[in-house]
Structure 1
Amino acid sequence: MIYTLQTATTIENVLRNELHLGKKYVHQLRMAKAVSVDDQLVSWTVQLPARTILTIDIPETKSNYLPASISVPIMYEDEHLLVVDKPKNMATHPNNSSETSTCMNAVMRHVTHYAEHVHRLDEGTGGLLLIAKNPIAKAALDYALANNEVTRSYTAVVEGRMVQQQGTIAKPIGKDRHHNTRRVVAKSGQVAVTHFKVIARTAKTTTVKLTLETGRTHQIRVHLAYLGHPIVGDTLYGAKLQGTTYALEATELTFTHPITHKVITVTKK
């Protein structure tokens, strides 16, 4: 991996505070003498000038997902990460080591070595899924996601005509004590924030674009149902209009690339 310093700094600072690697992994890199400048080892605590090029030899790591006989559409890819279009009614990842029908199994057919999802989509939600292709990209993207630096936008069709053109739903979400898989708005739940904007209306439905600040389980589904506008087909959350699945798609991802520092936007038309 090639990493170019954006400012004058040290290797130690890059690994810990720019790439956000854990102590154990940093120690592994140090023991392997995996970081060099112009093929030379340099002190990790000496300040290097901006534009210095680091070469990081990533220790061999393999993901545990079995490759599948199925594939998924790839919307963006480089040597560090990829974005795929997860089909509806496909789980993001397997629940046991023998399962091979999930999105991550399909990704392993393409990548073959290392791939780990940065976030997840509910099984019934289709659309864009961000995946790291090495542990360094994974750590940096995990940090970006946790700090609201990955913008995830969705499109949903909900029941009824929403009166409000746009707004923010800031209601905590917790488990439903009476249902194993449902979530509910609850005072004791985790903080959850969803922004929405109406983009179309019909006599019986409204199409909305939604952007997440947090990533709670079923967040969009719970918040829209709380407003009295469940997603069309989402019978788990009270929808009456039927469909083969519920009408929710992850349609846009925007993030700063952890290695190149370029802003990447991937859109599903």
Structure 2
Amino acid sequence: MFQYEIVQEGITVEELLRESWRLGKKIVHELRMAKAVTLLDGTPVNWKDSLPAGTKLQFTFAIPSSSYTPTAKCSVEIRYEDEHCLIVSKPKGMSTHPNEAGDRDTCMNHVMAHIQEKGGQYAEHVHRLDQGTKGLLLVAKHPIAKSIFDRMIEEKSIIRTYAAEVQGNIRQESGVINAPIGKDRHHNTRRVVSASGQHAVTHFEVVKRFKGTCLVHLVLETGRTHQIRVHMAHLGHPIVGDTLYNARQTPSGDYELHAIQLAFTHPFLNKQIVVKDQ
């Protein structure tokens, strides 16, 4: 259950769901059949009626249970939370979600512990971070939010910014890497730039230069597996320590890629959300 305040004068429930939120036909049908949209006092709302700005609607619907087994306690930091979503800081070395039946210590297992502690039962990640990447991960707290945030990711209206130290000194101050990414036929986990791969676009900006390396901020326009790692290696400047993509090994034996910021216009709260991870 959640509440929503109409901000667009004269909009109908039908228009809100289909045009503003652009929910799929199945979800819209389920909400209609469940008579899920009412006024705060429970009065049913005609989906064809124009509603004045300031009208407060209540959405009441069955929320399924997510399958993640909760950890004993949540050990990931919550950077932002409201009734529709939360943003956590995933540690380096932790998987976003279980990949095998026995996985019990992934970020989503920890998130589920937090959700259940607050009386909830649903949490689904909207995007994912590689195991070796740390930083901000957006999680939906109900299916309507998941549907809308998924669409926002596809439409590039959730801006994901990363920081990485890369080998060498990139000549230009900023640029765009537009190079499709596919699987490496000779290596199970590697990805490569390939003409037959999926469309992939990364924007980068050099923010600091060191001797032999530079710090770059990167914004993902698409979200392919290993996208930043592949694109920077393709540019000739792999992430420091990323030996999978031919960088020199560091003393720690690891690479540093950090999801430092998420920014988007909240579809339910109608305000700009900017969350940073230091």
Corresponding position of 2:165: 157
What amino acid maps onto 1:22 in structure 2? G
- For the pair 1:57 / 2:93, whether they are aligned, the reply is no
Instruction: Identify the range of structure 1 (44-53 vs 76-85) with the bigger mean alpha-carbon deviation.
Output: 44-53
Unaligned segments of structure 2, at least 5 residues: none
* Contact 1:151–1:254 under 8 Å retained in 2: yes
- For the pair 1:136 / 2:136, whether they are aligned, the reply is no
Describe the SS at the equivalent of 2:112: helix
Q: Distance in 1 between matches of 2:268 and 2:244?
A: 40
* Contact 1:176–1:182 under 8 Å retained in 2: yes
Q: Distance in 2 between matches of 1:248 and 1:87?
A: 11
Q: CA RMSD in A?
A: 1.4
Q: Distance in 2 between matches of 1:229 and 1:12?
A: 50
Taking the TM superposition and a 5 Å limit, the aligned residue runs for 1:175-194 are: 175-194=183-202
Corresponding position of 1:2: 3
Q: How far apart are 1:97 and its partner, in Å?
A: 4.3
Q: Distance in 2 between matches of 1:123 and 1:59?
A: 33
Question: What TM-score results when the alignment is normalised by the length of structure 1?
Answer: 0.96
Corresponding position of 2:255: 246
Deviation per residue, 1:210-256 (Å, 9 max, x gap): 01111111110000001111101111100113233211100000011
Q: Distance in 2 between matches of 1:96 and 1:227?
A: 34
Q: State the number of aligned residues.
A: 269
Corresponding position of 2:266: 257
Corresponding position of 2:103: 99
Corresponding position of 1:15: 17
- For the pair 1:85 / 2:89, whether they are aligned, the reply is yes
Corresponding position of 2:179: 171
Instruction: Identify the range of structure 1 (118-127 vs 6-15) with the bigger mean alpha-carbon deviation.
Output: 6-15
Q: List, as ranges, runs of 4+ consecutive aligned residues in structure 1 with deviation greater than 4 Å.
A: none
Deviation per residue, 1:180-217 (Å, 9 max, x gap): 11111111111111111111122121110101111111
Deviation per residue, 1:138-167 (Å, 9 max, x gap): 111111111010000000011112222111
What amino acid maps onto 1:125 in structure 2? T
What amino acid maps onto 1:17 in structure 2? E
Describe the SS at the equivalent of 2:150: helix
Taking the TM superposition and a 5 Å limit, the aligned residue runs for 1:204-219 are: 204-219=212-227
What amino acid maps onto 1:224 in structure 2? M
Q: How far apart are 1:18 and its partner, in Å?
A: 2.2
Describe the SS at the equivalent of 1:105: helix
Corresponding position of 2:231: 223
What amino acid maps onto 1:40 in structure 2? T
Q: Distance in 2 between matches of 1:100 and 1:10?
A: 44
Q: Distance in 2 between matches of 1:138 and 1:154?
A: 23
